[in-house]
Chain A
Amino acid sequence: MKRIVFICILLLTGVSLHAQTGAPYIHDPSSIVKSDGKYFTFGTGGGGLISEDGWSWHSGAVRPGGGAAPDAIKIGDRYLIIYGTTGGGMGGGHASKIMTMWNKTLDPDSPDFAYSEPVMVCESLVDEDFNAIDPGVLLDPTTGRLWLTCGTYFGHIRQVELDPKTGFRVEGNEAIDVGRNMEASTMMYRDGWYYLLGTHGTCCDGVNSTYNIVVGRSRNVNGPFIDNVGRSMIQGGGKSVVTTEGRLVGPGHFGRYIEEEGVEKMSFHWEADMDQSGRSVLAIRPLLWKDGWPVAGEAFREGTYEIQSVRSGYALELEVDFIRAQGAMRGLGRGNEPQPNVVLEEQKLEDVAGTWPEGVIGARNGYYMGRPWQRWSVIPVPEAGGYLGGPYYKIVIAGTDRALAANDKAEVETVPAFTGAPEQLWRIDQLTDGTYRIMPKSIPGHDEPYALVSLGDCSPTLAPFDFKSDNSKWDFRCYSPVK
């Protein structure tokens, strides 16, 4: 669900921060896992990335065993790492093994950091229609059973069952073929559906890689997984989840991260980021759900918006006098005299800003009229860090430095000038239904992770986020720019 109206594209200014910052260089990233307060993802060839905040990433994760395209999952108080021992056999043999190993922590600086001895759970022979690499795992929340899929274009995607207590293959388990025409498979579960995800297209060709992520679903964990037009994944089907976006090329290797109900992220890599030398980089996007299908959300774009409460449709605005705009009513017996149409001027900032108080001005919600006190510029603040998938933003009245801020009463207001204080920095998460959660980085004197909430139609405040309530949700809407 694309809530951002893209006719606003001409209004956007500055650089859009689409990719993670730091040195997010990785190929075939695992699902992101949190350990010891940090985020980790592992990639092909060993090692991986660490992030303190989920936005700035750097190398440093440690994974022995080499090979390709690992996955990671937390089970209980331990972490299970799964990887293929080879990188696939283009033009040669396809013998490979899928290995699993445990660790109490993923932080290499922790005294508890120690991998268990890897064990083999699946293998492909040198010349069969299967290539045991690119593993992905699902711990079925309905049964507690652990499922692994793996494979490439060379034959089938296979599914095997692991023991979640040991990480070993369940004794006697027979592999099932569940897909073809893809690699980088993984599974997820939601609302009675099992989803098999994979990556179509060609990898490892820089800006010419045609990688793209697809999905099918089934009511049964073992499939068959069917796409949106009725094709089975084992017939090569797959509904699109995310494709190349402009200068970001070739998404592949899906991973899901659930922060809380309604706040989900998907991780993958871009085969090539044309703004970073065409290198393969980590991507984190909101994971949206539309009609029971996963869809990649948009990276939030800097711009000038109406910030609309989903509760009421009212717009966030300054608590200032409504200044009437020029343009007398016509029709209803008034102003019907024959005359050429004229284009009316929109109200401009300079028409009204002089009437505003100089100090703190409250914030409220009101009918959106496109007025200067309702137009907000949302601008990333790179030096302020970020969170999983995005940088912190300042939210200021367009054309001014007047900034939205949390205060020590856990209420929201505006201050005359943005100072960079944490209570003036905002986290913006697109939710699974396409709307947005807006949260201050911190609230003076409060530890609660409150979000911007409309408890009343006209009354934004800071209160606990509740995905089930439209009070907690916002849309960013953008219209033609003021001339």
Chain B
Amino acid sequence: MKRSFRILLLLALMAVTAVQVQAQKKNSKIDVAEALKGYFKPVTTPSATPDAEGFIRRWMILEPISKPNPTNRVFTDSYTRENLSVEYFPDQLTVLPKDGDKVKVTMEYQPPVNLSSNRPAARPQQDQPKFVKATLTWHALDSDHFFVKLFRFATGLDKDRYGVIFWTVTVINCEEDIENVRLAVGSNKAARWWVNGEEVLLLAGDRHMGVDSAVSDRVTLKKGKNILRGVTMNGPGMSEFCARFIDDTGKPVTGYTITCN
């Protein structure tokens, strides 16, 4: 190996390490409760219940994974399925994390957002994407609202806000089987959702969050723990979702408790 190439490799590794360290430093300095004030509170109780309209407010949320998308036009069914089928971290479809758990990911680098511009900073087409390693943290949070404002989760924690992927998971605890319920999700933007490991919704398109925008086929919430998992991907705009279970007449189902794991 030529000396000049070794030097280049060393510099590249140093750059990746610097980005990783910077990300971790940023995180460690943040008071989560203060940073997310107005949108979330850290979980302080053993369990929660859905709100009066059935919305699920308690979630484990992973810090966003960068996946630059300079436009929302790309979110077709195929694109959504393909890009939300990538393994971003081990056991992403089964993990039940605890607050503060860390996840190591390799993700596409994007430059810091330029808030003085009204256009996203697109990577020149001729350039190959650059990937960086990052360590991301799971946060156990109660939303202050019926919706989960992923965008403010990201900005509050000083993370990438546009072109990112959010993994979210929560546990629905039932005292007995609840049959023929449907997961009803409003989502900004594209998303996939699973109940007990079974995909129940794929939400494509340049969509915005409305209550009960998309409703799954009938599912059974079984006695005991049920795992509700969603992954949401945005482009150059807002990101948020709301989720609840409804019955065949559209009425909210509320007879369960919610825990983080």
Which residues does A use to contact B, with CB under 8 Å?
Answer: 319-322, 324, 364, 366, 409-411, 455-459, 461, 463-464, 466, 469, 471
Contacts and interface: CB of A to CB of B under 8 A. Distances in A.
Contact of A471 (B79, B217, B250): B250
A456 B215 CA distance: 5
Interface residues of B, number: 22
Contact of A456 (B73, B204, B214, B249): B214
Interface string B214-237: 111110000000000000000000
27 contacts: A320-B77, A321-B76, A321-B204, A322-B76, A364-B214, A366-B205, A411-B217, A455-B184, A455-B215, A455-B246, A456-B184, A456-B213, A456-B215, A457-B210, A457-B214, A458-B203, A458-B213, A458-B215, A459-B214, A459-B215, A459-B216, A461-B182, A461-B215, A461-B217, A463-B249, A464-B248, A464-B249
Given A366-B205, A409-B218, A461-B217, A456 B212 contact: yes
Nearest first, the 8 A-B pairs at minimum CB distance are A456-B215, A459-B215, A321-B76, A458-B214, A455-B215, A456-B212, A463-B248, A457-B213
B253 to A, nearest CB: 12
A214 B127 CA distance: 75
A410 B214 CA distance: 17
A210 B248 CA distance: 49
B214 A466 contact: no
Contacts of B210: 457
Given A321-B76, A455-B215, 12 more contacts: A321-B78, A321-B79, A409-B218, A411-B217, A455-B246, A455-B250, A456-B215, A457-B212, A457-B214, A458-B203, A461-B215, A466-B249
Nearest to B182: A455
A358 to B, nearest CB: 15
Contacts of B205: 322, 366
Contacts of B77: 319-322
Q: What is the interface of chain A mostly: helix, strand, loop, or mixed?
A: loop
Nearest to A448: B248
Contacts of B79: 321
Contacts of B248: 455, 463-464
Nearest to A364: B214
Contacts of A456: 182, 184, 212-215
Contacts of A457: 210, 212-214
Contacts of B246: 455
B71 to A, nearest CB: 11
A409 B250 contact: no
A461 B250 CA distance: 11
Contacts of A409: 217-218
B74 to A, nearest CB: 10
Interface string B226-261: 000000000000000000001011100000000000
Most buried by B among A410, A411, A463, A464: A463
A316 to B, nearest CB: 14
A464 to B, nearest CB: 6
A320 B204 CA distance: 10
A17 to B, nearest CB: 33
Interface string B58-78: 000000000000000100111
A324 B205 CA distance: 12
A75 to B, nearest CB: 33
B211 to A, nearest CB: 9
Nearest to A412: B217
Nearest to B80: A321
Most buried by A among B216, B218, B248: B248
A320 B217 CA distance: 18
Contacts of B217: 409, 411, 461
A314 to B, nearest CB: 10
A311 B179 CA distance: 25
A411 B250 CA distance: 15
A320 B248 CA distance: 25
A17 B73 CA distance: 43
Contacts of B203: 458
Interface in B187-224: 203-205, 210, 212-218
Nearest to A410: B218
Nearest to B212: A456
Most buried by B among A319, A320, A459, A466: A459
Contacts of B73: 324
Contacts of A319: 77
Interface in B165-194: 182, 184
Contacts of A320: 77
Contacts of B249: 463-464, 466, 469
Nearest to B201: A459
Nearest to A450: B248
A438 B79 CA distance: 32
B146 to A, nearest CB: 16
A336 B117 CA distance: 24
A461 B217 CA distance: 8
Interface string B103-136: 0000000000000000000000000000000000
A411 B217 CA distance: 7
A469 B248 CA distance: 12
Contacts of A459: 214-216
A321 B218 CA distance: 24
A251 B43 CA distance: 70
A272 to B, nearest CB: 46
